[in-house]
Amino acid sequence: MFDIGFSELLLCFLVALVVLGPERLPKVARTVGRWTGQAKGYLRNLTAELDREAELSELRAKLEEAKRAMQEGAQSFRDTVQKEASNLHDAVKKETDAARESVRKAADDANGKP
């Protein structure tokens, strides 16, 4: 990640030994190691959270797509039902008008009107 070679690492260790001294160097190394571990843990948690969020975003998109498809299907079904109901209404009205006209003619014939 930082591309630090062995010679650079040895130089950092020697500088830390001179600056901190042999008494405090192990304690500082433990503290730095602990911080490094915590930072890695935070990064791991962050990565997992981002992965979950990306997965949720994908699921939301799929859910919206399914919802849109269902709404389109429902609208198509509604349109078909309304069209068929209108056709049925027109057919019933036509038959009712024809029956009414037949009854009227029969009544007129029975009453003697030409």
Q: What is the CATH number of the domain that holds 48?
A: 1.20.5
CB 7 within 8 A of CB 15: no
Helices and strands, counts by H and E, the chain: 1, 0
Asked if 50 and 36 sit in the same domain, the reply is yes
Reading phi first (left if > 0) and then psi (alpha if -120 to 50, else beta), residue 113 is in beta
Asked if 65 and 25 sit in the same domain, the reply is no
How many angstroms separate the Cα of 101 from the Cα of each of 9, 54, 88, 89? 107, 70, 20, 18
pLDDT score at 2 = 65
CB 42 within 8 A of CB 33: no
Give the number of domains in the chain: 2
Q: 54, 76, 95: which is the final residue of a domain?
A: 54
Residue 11 φ then ψ, to 5°? -65, -45
Residue 68 in tokens: 């849109």
Asked if 7 and 42 sit in the same domain, the reply is yes
Asked if 76 and 42 sit in the same domain, the reply is no
Domain span including residue 39: 1-54
pLDDT score at 113 = 62
Burial-class residue 45 by CB neighbours within 10 Å (0-12, 13-18, 19+).
exposed
pLDDT tens track of the chain, all 114 residues? 567 788 888 888 889 888 888 898 889 889 989 999 999 999 999 999 999 999 999 999 999 999 999 999 999 999 999 999 999 999 999 999 999 999 999 888 888 765
Asked if 34 and 83 sit in the same domain, the reply is no
Q: 38, 54, 70: which is the final residue of a domain?
A: 54
CB 51 within 8 A of CB 58: no
Asked if 21 and 65 sit in the same domain, the reply is no
